[in-house]
Amino acid sequence: MSSIYNVILRPIITEKGLTLKEQDRTLCFEVSDRASKTQIQEAVERIFKVKVKKVRTMTVPGKERRRGKYSGYRSDWKKAYVTLREGEKMIEYGESF
């Protein structure tokens, strides 16, 4: 990857993600399809200035979408669950709900 800002695309703010954040110190991000776990860990550590304990990734398959008689598929995308080390300050996002 050319830049750490091309690795992490956006945080995923869902009920499950906020529960994991509060209970397990785990953050959820949409990441680049070509990003490795090491690149994701380095990007999170450098952008947010925290230490990462582990990274879990999964590829989410695209869903079928229909518009009248026409149908197609959304693109596959990659999700990363990033667990922070004990004693690290939690990153704040999604608190306005």
What's the predicted TM-score (pTM) here?
A: 0.87
**What digits encode the pLDDT tens for the residues 5-36?**
999 999 999 999 989 999 999 999 999 999 99
Range of the domain at 34: 4-64+73-84
What CATH number is given to the structural domain containing 22? 3.30.70.330
- Write down the pLDDT at residue 2: 72
Residue 38 included in any domain: yes
Identify whether 32 is part of a domain.
yes
How many domains, the chain?
A: 1
- What does residue 6 show for φ and ψ, rounded to 5 degrees? -90, -10
**91 within a domain of the structure (yes/no):** no
Average pLDDT over residues 35-44: 96
> Is 13 domain-assigned?
yes
Residues 6 or more apart whose Cβ sits within 8 Å of residue 94: 11, 13, 17, 18, 21
Assigned domain for 97 exists = no
